[in-house]
Amino acid sequence: SQQGEEDPQALSIQEGENATMNCSYKTSINNLQWYRQNSGRGLVHLILIRSNEREKHSGRLRVTLDTSKKSSSLLITASRAADTASYFCATGPEGSNYKLTFGKGTLLTVNP
């Protein structure tokens, strides 16, 4: 079953702008991860945030987690054409010690 749902499904911005993608989930989680997928390639892990954390940074990435709203956001600042990819959130549900449940992804296009 689908746990995380990303929003929007597609996002098109100009280079230099910020991109914000959201993820909502339904059940309680232990942690949430964000991944990037370039067209026709495998997924690349970006960042993990645990349920007791509210915000995390990694380079130009900023992730927030609001467990009361069951939602997370991924902000990419000063976007580049190379950031063009699909972005997925993956949740680790409470009670599962290994399984990640992936959303359908947001397709981000950064125009030069």
Partner 1 sequence: SQTIHQWPATLVQPVGSPLSLECTVEGTSNPNLYWYRQAAGRGLQLLFYSVGIGQISSEVPQNLSASRPQDRQFILSSKKLLLSDSGFYLCAWSVLQGSDQPQHFGDGTRLSIL
Question: Between the CA atoms of 65, 70, 74 and 75, what dihedral angle is there, to the nearest 10 degrees?
Answer: -70
Give yes or no for residue 54 binding partner 1 (CB under 8 A). Answer: no
Three-state DSSP class for residue 76: strand
Question: Does residue 30 bind partner 1 (CB under 8 A)?
Answer: yes
Q: Of 27, 18, 25, which is closest to residue 74 (Cα–Cα)?
A: 18
Using CB under 8 A, which of the segments 12-20, 59-67, 73-81, 94-102 binds partner 1?
Answer: 94-102
Smallest gap from Cβ 101 to partner 1, in A, equals 8
Residues 6+ apart with CB under 8 A from 41: none
Minimal CA–CA distance to 73: which of 57, 84, 59?
A: 57
| By the rule CB under 8 A, 63 interacts with partner 1 | no
* Minimum gap (Å) between residue 98 Cβ and partner 1: 5
Nearest distance from C-beta of residue 53 to partner 1, angstroms = 11
- Residue ranges in contact with partner 1 by CB under 8 A: 2, 4, 30-31, 33, 40-45, 48, 50, 88, 90-93, 96-105
